[in-house]
């Protein structure tokens, strides 16, 4: 693996390898000393052109637990806001000796541009590009599903036959796209549920069932996993649904819908949550919710990704 830009071209074996290395990383988190020397002397740059809290902190924690040095480069307050181009920024980072670049960018495709540009010869990790992809989020979601569904017996396994319903703002969601490709590769069945206005054009050609009726879908499928997505108001320049109450009534995981779910259905959300809009507080804070586990698992997944990209020598690690 040279870069981690998308889940679309990740093979089943490569995906399972990342998930299994993340299991090793999670074991490290339970030790008294949480740090491994694996990436000592390496420099990881977090290049964030778009606001983020949990993803940036998660990559930072992951790099530090592997003993790498971390440079956080936020586009606000940097020369980028003075008009410096991605090319100049990348060349500056290369000149400083960055060994890996984690990039979040508002434009779909920016990480790929960086990877193919020749401006910098370092592994590039996509931490979310526009509405396109967010591969480490999908990997941490798959990791979380595997751990919950297989009760600690998850190593080596895919998600064959697992039913996943992904609900909400699919149109703007890089999380939904990365999840779809990865879940497909791992053998899960995916259904998107959303108002018609929030389903992207062309989605009918994707390997996914599409529904506009949440109650009917939940009743018919009794899914193993329900993943709620955030309504991304900051990307909406038009009215995609009548109002928040209407959205919540039709497509939110409110208390009544949550109570009707099978008790072993897990409830996921990538965060940040709009409580009371796409998910009720009771659902988000329930024992079925994996919201905080997803955050914890995110560090293990990002450790695995950085480790595989920067050293690639699994045997030497543990
Ligand atoms: C997601 C993102 O930024 O794409 N969040 C995250 O990575 N924690 C989803 C979202 O913003 O709704």
Instruction: Give the pairing type, strands 163-167 and 124-129.
Output: unpaired
pLDDT in tens, 279-289: 999 999 999 99
| Ligand 1, atom nearest to 232 Cα | 12
CA-to-CA distance for 113 and 130, rounded, in angstroms?
13
* Residue of the CA atom closest to atom 12 of ligand 1: 230
Give the pLDDT score at 79. Answer: 73
Ligand 1 centroid distance, CA of 127 (Å): 9
Ligand 1 site: residues with CB under 6 angstroms?
54-55, 128, 134, 137, 174-175, 230, 232, 270-271
* Residue of the CA atom closest to atom 7 of ligand 1: 55
| Ligand 1, atom nearest to 169 Cα | 12
Give the pLDDT score at 242. Answer: 84
Ligand 1 centroid distance, CA of 200 (Å): 18
| Ligand 1, atom nearest to 229 Cα | 12
Ligand 1 centroid distance, CA of 282 (Å): 21
pLDDT in tens, 35-51: 999 999 999 999 999 98
Q: Identify whether the C-beta of residue 86 lies closer than 8 Å to the C-beta of residue 79.
A: no
| Ligand 1, atom nearest to 174 Cα | 4
pLDDT in tens, 196-219: 999 999 999 999 999 999 999 999
DSSP E strands, 146-272: 163-167, 189-193, 209-211, 225-228, 266-268
Find out if CATH 3.40.50.720 is the number for domain 12-134+295-316.
Answer: no
* Residue of the CA atom closest to atom 1 of ligand 1: 270
| Ligand 1, atom nearest to 137 Cα | 7
pTM of the model: 0.95
* Top-level class of domain 135-293: alpha beta
CA-to-CA distance for 45 and 66, rounded, in angstroms?
14
CA-to-CA distance for 18 and 309, rounded, in angstroms?
10
Give the pLDDT score at 318. Answer: 40
Give the pLDDT score at 226. Answer: 98
Q: Identify whether the C-beta of residue 171 lies closer than 8 Å to the C-beta of residue 146.
A: no
Pinpoint the residues of the chain covered by CATH 3.40.50.1370. 12-134+295-316, 135-293
pLDDT in tens, 237-250: 778 888 899 999 99
Report angle CA 185, 188, 192 to the nearest 5 degrees: 105
Which DSSP helix (H) or strand (E) runs through 46? strand 43-48
């Amino acid at each position: 693996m040279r870069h981690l830009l998308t889940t679309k071209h990740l093979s089943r074996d490569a995906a399972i390898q990342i998930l299994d290395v993340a299991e090793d990383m999670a074991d490290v988190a339970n030790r008294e000393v949480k740090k491994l020397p694996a990436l000592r002397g390496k420099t990881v740059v977090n290049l964030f052109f778009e606001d983020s809290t949990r993803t940036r902190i998660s990559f930072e924690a992951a790099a530090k637990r592997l003993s790498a040095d971390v440079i956080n480069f936020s586009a606000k307050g940097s020369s980028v806001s003075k008009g410096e181009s991605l090319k100049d920024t990348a060349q500056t980072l290369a000149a400083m000796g960055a060994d890996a670049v984690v990039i979040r960018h508002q434009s779909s495709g920016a990480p790929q541009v960086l990877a193919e540009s020749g401006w910098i010869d370092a592994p590039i990790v996509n931490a979310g590009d526009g509405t396109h992809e967010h591969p480490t989020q999908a990997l941490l979601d798959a990791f979380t599903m595997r751990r919950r569904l297989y009760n600690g017996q998850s190593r080596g396994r895919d998600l064959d036959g697992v039913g996943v319903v992904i609900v909400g703002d699919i149109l703007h969601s890089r999380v939904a796209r990365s999840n779809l490709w990865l879940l497909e590769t791992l053998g899960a069945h995916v259904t998107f549920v959303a108002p018609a206005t929030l389903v992207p054009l062309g989605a009918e050609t994707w390997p996914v069932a599409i529904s506009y009726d949440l109650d009917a879908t939940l009743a018919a499928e009794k899914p193993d996993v329900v993943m709620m997505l955030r309504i991304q108001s900051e990307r909406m320049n038009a009215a995609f649904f009548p109002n928040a109450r209407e959205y919540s009534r039709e497509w939110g995981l409110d208390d009544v819908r949550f109570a009707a779910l099978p008790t072993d259905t897990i409830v996921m959300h990538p965060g940040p949550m709009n409580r009371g809009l796409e998910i009720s507080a009771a659902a988000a804070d329930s024992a079925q919710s994996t919201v905080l586990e997803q955050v914890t698992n995110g560090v293990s997944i990002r450790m695995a990704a950085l480790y595989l990209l920067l050293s690639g020598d699994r045997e030497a690690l543990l």
